[in-house]
Amino acid sequence: MNIQFIGVSEVADYLKNDSVQFIDLRDAADYRRKHIRGAVSMPYDTFLQSYSALSRKKMYVLYCDRGATSVTAAAKMQSSGYKVYSLAGGINAFNK
């Protein structure tokens, strides 16, 4: 499986696209402290049970703190037929 990545410099372009949904995989407290505008909170511990309800017509960009969890989650989604990317470096890279 070959996971696709987007860089932090590409986030603004993806946010302009209505067919792209950002998903924050961190816990709710981390999401409340800082998140990408428009991202939905779907903590990883509930993600595995709920991602299959997401539309396969959209594209998803997943992120966590540093990127490791989002790569694992992206692989699961990709193997289920979703178009998905991981944010390289996670939220920590986004605000550097």
Torsion, Cα 77 79 83 88, to 10 degrees, reads 70
Spans of all domains in the chain = 4-94
pLDDT (tens, 9 = 90+) of the chain, 96 residues, equals 699 999 989 999 999 999 999 999 999 999 999 999 999 999 999 998 999 999 999 999 999 999 899 999 999 999 999 999 999 999 998 765
What pLDDT was estimated at residue 1?
67
What pLDDT was estimated at residue 94?
77
CA distance to 23, 71, 79, 85, per residue, from 15 (Å): 12, 20, 24, 13
In this structure, how many other beta carbons lie within 10 angstroms of the beta carbon of residue 35?
17
What pLDDT was estimated at residue 67?
87
SS3 call for 69? helix
CATH superfamily of the 4-94 domain: Rhodanese-like domain (3.40.250.10)
pTM metric for this prediction: 0.94
CB 20 within 8 A of CB 40: no
